[in-house]
Structure 1
Amino acid sequence: MTQVKSEFMLALNQICAERGIDPRMVIDAIKTAILAALKRDLGLAEEEALVGYEVSVNEETGAITVTKDGKDATPAGFGRIAAQVAKQVIMQRVREAEKDAIIADYSDKIGSLVTGMILRFDGPNVVIDIGRGQAMMPQAEAIPNEFYRLNQRVAVYIKEIRDTYKGKTIIVSRSAPELVKELFAREVPEVGAGSVEIVAIAREAGHRTKIAVKSTEDGIDPVGSCVGQKGVRVQAVINELNGEKIDIVEYSSNLVEYVKAALAPAEGFEVNIDESKRKVTVTVPDDQLSLAIGRGGQNARLAAKLLGFKVDIKGVTEGSVHSVTGEEEFEIDRLGLGSKVRNTLLDLKITTVKELETKLDSLKATIDELDPRAFVETGKAIARFYKKADMAKEEAEKAARFAAEREAENR
């Protein structure tokens, strides 16, 4: 029999009470860990069973007993090992309890804005200190054309609690449309108070966002409230998003008026609506066609997302129809290119990184006209894209190995 001082049980009960842990769960974990340590001490292979062995812990005195077939079978010097194992198990359970408490706390904060500080980079992901705990911003949740540095403070949107190979993880985002909504709620008192409502948001993170707003109280200008005096409120949001352009339009229950607002800055067009097919057909004066579609089709895409309708845009005399559903996304958006280069590439029907890589040399003159530095930066962006893809593949393989190991342990 190995005696562990009763002070151990007092300390265990105190720690468990402070951390909200069931002492019996800790004691069961100690028993399991001691059996594993005993198996190693006896030189048994991992798959061999400890037939007839049993560990008991006296909950009053803390005495740990190892028996085999009902007889004392504690190896010589096993007391030190038992004490060490007990200490490790308690520390592990405390850490798990603290993490569970943090996860529970942030589960209630899903859908809210928080400001954190970048701690480190985990492959293509960014690990952020958000106060009580740490959160992960996966590559897909980052703004494509943003670069992050250690100790940088960033505003992020708490998106979800996700099961990863590291356990439950707080996932945050800077590319989510909801981030823009929460930033306006912070910067615009009327939005925070509910007297101005953000009805819809369409976003291409890092490039442009359109939001539709309406007033819930008489006498309040929803667009003016969001813009602020001399644009100070919307500029605060733009600054937080590192220069992302933001269009604010007034929502209308009159769908024709709403379509016209959503397609601004184009004007003077006719609108036909088929609500059963959720389709809008817009006939635009020829001199307004490029404005309605936007560079690379961006204005039309954002309008379609804002409306939740398919949008067909055609000129008065031109026969071609530009059709968007609001669901279009392009691989080159993940490169973080400047808007001018990105939109030029989309105009040239280049939407994938592979296409761009293949045609890059032939596009040098075109890109140089937009920005003399852009050609080199585009090449670097392509290299980063492939490097991140390789790192993401490694992370996925690591997660698969971890899951397989956990499954093998539980067999």
Structure 2
Amino acid sequence: MAITSANQLELLQTAEAVAREKMIDPDLVIQAMEDSLARAAKSRYGAEMDIRVSIDRKTGRATFTRVRTVVEDDAVENYQAELTVAQAKQYKADPQVGDEIIDEVPPVDLGRIAAQSAKQVILQKVREAERDRQFDEFKDRKGTIINGVVKREEYGNIIVDIGRGEAILRRNEKIGRESYRPNDRIRAYVKDVRRETRGPQVFLSRTDPQFMAELFKMEVPEIYDGIIEIRAVARDPGSRAKIAVISNDNSIDPVGACVGMRGSRVQAVVGELQGEKIDIIPWNPEPATFLVNALQPAEVAKVVIDEEAGKIEVVVPDEQLSLAIGRRGQNVRLASQLTGLDIDILTEAEESSRRQAEFAERTKLFVDALDLDEFFAQLLVAEGFTNLEEVAYVDLDELLAIEGVDDSTAEELQARARDYIEEQNRKAIEAAKELGVEQSLFDFEGLTPQMIEALARDDVKTLEDFATCADWELAGGWTTVDGSRVKDDGILEKFGMSLEEAQALIMTARIQLGWVDPSELETTEEDEENTEEETEE
């Protein structure tokens, strides 16, 4: 099979036909033909040669050329693809090192094997071009809704025809027990588009929270125009969902706009989601207010937020408990997803019992440590004193403000509290020494004797040991495991140490040990501040 004038135009016709069928650039097909012919020519003339093929885009004529590079006299390694300056003078008047000498060679006569190999190269190149086109087309549609037609089902996964390619809807991305038959129309959210060896893979979802958000954007013009924003979405696919919205125009009610006239807009979304019940909630920048809205229809009596731990306690009337929690914990779970906080729900009776237990515990502490009668200890707790340090080192006027406490009584209270603390410190120091704590840790400022004892019991006995600790090891923290937040207890957490305090202490220890240069630390902080200022601007 030689490339003669009889089949030169046939090359162009074939390239155009393939390009039209695969919807790719004809030039890509011609380039693939050039590569395949060049590979076939190398097998004829020798693999060491640099053979190139150029097909004229108008006439279809294929030109075979050999390319040789001019190199230094002692640098010739491949005599078929390189030549010296002296040899190059036969072809060029003033050759320079690096020049390319190009001369035409006769077209090859492709045998059956070579022709088959050329065909495979062309098909491979065409497939790659087709995959690139599909990936480029669908990568920009990630995060949008797409319509398609069901082609078939494979092991519970639905293969969807989306026009110029196929997509897959995995069984765990389907709503509930919904099923599809071939040729059914389907609407889904493009969750991911990946470039894989077998071609671009488009992954669809009908359970993703953003699917519902995009449906609302289609049904509510105000969301599409940006007048109303969707700030958070939480779903229990096929059952219930919550969506938080806010309006940038005070004259437009975001909840009413999403519901629509007689519920027309929200019902269109509900119908697409197989009857999923949707709570539309006004978003609020105040976490407590937002949470009260998120727990609707339950009524909330009180909200207590622990921002450091990322937890929130909600107190509800006894009769509202089941409504706040919801069936199988659904309502509180969705509210937690919506707000991004761990929510503990207590009844008013449970909260009262806990407060009474805390009151009794603090009363007992004052009775035992300060040798007070129960009534006087309760009086201290009622006035807001929670520990002995507050009694020992508080301004004397605060104790005098308590009814029935005079100067001598206040001074006696503080003396007893200080004596008790000093005795506890002495015992803690002795215990720490017995555990093998080195003097470097005792000399380090910022740690109480009780803290040093706690560190020693956790095998932190030197300043070097302390400097290698992580902040969360000291202050505690939270880790997300399988979607649930798990508490990590800190060595010094019971002493009320925060993450910021732990970070400062650890960094001070590292500076004292010479592990960290304070000047470099200051430079880093200045850079961070400048970056923050630039971002704000």
* TM-score in terms of structure 2 length: 0.51
- In the TM superposition, what is the alpha-carbon distance from 1:117 to its structure 2 partner? 1.3
Q: Please tell me the root mean square deviation across aligned C-alpha atoms, in Å.
A: 3.7
Name the SS of the counterpart of 2:349 in structure 1: coil
Alignment of 1:3-402 (within 5 A): 3=3, 5-11=7-13, 14=16, 19-20=24-25, 21-22=27-28, 25-27=31-33, 29-31=35-37, 57=53, 59=55, 61-62=61-62, 79-80=111-112, 82-83=114-115, 85-87=117-119, 89-164=121-196, 166-318=198-350
Name the SS of the counterpart of 2:187 in structure 1: strand
Q: Is the 8 A contact 1:9 1:62 kept in 2?
A: no
- In the TM superposition, what is the alpha-carbon distance from 1:16 to its structure 2 partner? 8.5
Q: Distance in 2 between matches of 1:199 and 1:139?
A: 28
Task: State the Cα deviation string for residues 352-407 of structure 1 (Å, max 9, x = none).
Answer: xxxxxxxxxxxxxxxxxxxxxxxxxxxxxxxxxxxxxxxxxxxxxxxxxxxxxxxx
Q: Distance in 2 between matches of 1:268 and 1:56?
A: 78
Task: State the Cα deviation string for residues 213-254 of structure 1 (Å, max 9, x = none).
Answer: 111112111111111111111111011011111111111122
Report percent identity of matched pairs.
40
- In the TM superposition, what is the alpha-carbon distance from 1:136 to its structure 2 partner? 1.5
Q: Is the 8 A contact 1:301 1:327 kept in 2?
A: no
Instruction: Report the AA paired with residue 157 of structure 2.
Output: N
Cα distance 1:32–1:215, how it changes in 2: closer, same or farther (>3 A)? Answer: same
2:2: which partner in 1?
2
Name the SS of the counterpart of 1:103 in structure 2: helix
Instruction: Report the AA paired with residue 308 of structure 2.
Output: S
* TM-score in terms of structure 1 length: 0.65
Cα distance 1:271–1:328, how it changes in 2: closer, same or farther (>3 A)? Answer: farther
- In the TM superposition, what is the alpha-carbon distance from 1:87 to its structure 2 partner? 4.7
- In the TM superposition, what is the alpha-carbon distance from 1:102 to its structure 2 partner? 2.5
Q: Distance in 2 between matches of 1:317 and 1:287?
A: 11
Q: Which runs of 5+ in 2 are unaligned?
A: 66-78, 81-104, 355-478, 485-537
Name the SS of the counterpart of 1:317 in structure 2: helix
Cα distance 1:55–1:178, how it changes in 2: closer, same or farther (>3 A)? Answer: same
Q: Is the 8 A contact 1:273 1:280 kept in 2?
A: yes
Cα distance 1:63–1:83, how it changes in 2: closer, same or farther (>3 A)? Answer: farther
Task: State the Cα deviation string for residues 181-225 of structure 1 (Å, max 9, x = none).
Answer: 000011111111111111100112122111001111121111111
Q: Distance in 1 between matches of 2:39 and 2:331?
A: 61
- In the TM superposition, what is the alpha-carbon distance from 1:116 to its structure 2 partner? 1.4
- In the TM superposition, what is the alpha-carbon distance from 1:292 to its structure 2 partner? 0.8
Kindly tell me the number of residue pairs found equivalent between the two proteins.
313
Q: Distance in 2 between matches of 1:234 and 1:327?
A: 34
2:69: which partner in 1?
none
Structure 1, 206-215 or 121-130: larger mean CA deviation: 121-130
Q: Is the 8 A contact 2:131 2:199 kept in 1?
A: no
- In the TM superposition, what is the alpha-carbon distance from 1:33 to its structure 2 partner? 7.6
Q: Distance in 2 between matches of 1:164 and 1:84?
A: 27
Q: Distance in 2 between matches of 1:97 and 1:263?
A: 52
Instruction: Report the AA paired with residue 218 of structure 1.
Output: N
Q: Is the 8 A contact 1:8 1:62 kept in 2?
A: no
Name the SS of the counterpart of 1:101 in structure 2: helix
Instruction: Report the AA paired with residue 242 of structure 2.
Output: K
Instruction: Report the AA paired with residue 296 of structure 1.
Output: R
Q: Is the 8 A contact 2:29 2:122 kept in 1?
A: no
1:406: which partner in 2?
none
Q: Distance in 2 between matches of 1:283 and 1:35?
A: 82
Name the SS of the counterpart of 1:2 in structure 2: coil
Instruction: Report the AA paired with residue 55 of structure 2.
Output: E
Name the SS of the counterpart of 2:2 in structure 1: coil
- In the TM superposition, what is the alpha-carbon distance from 1:141 to its structure 2 partner? 2.3
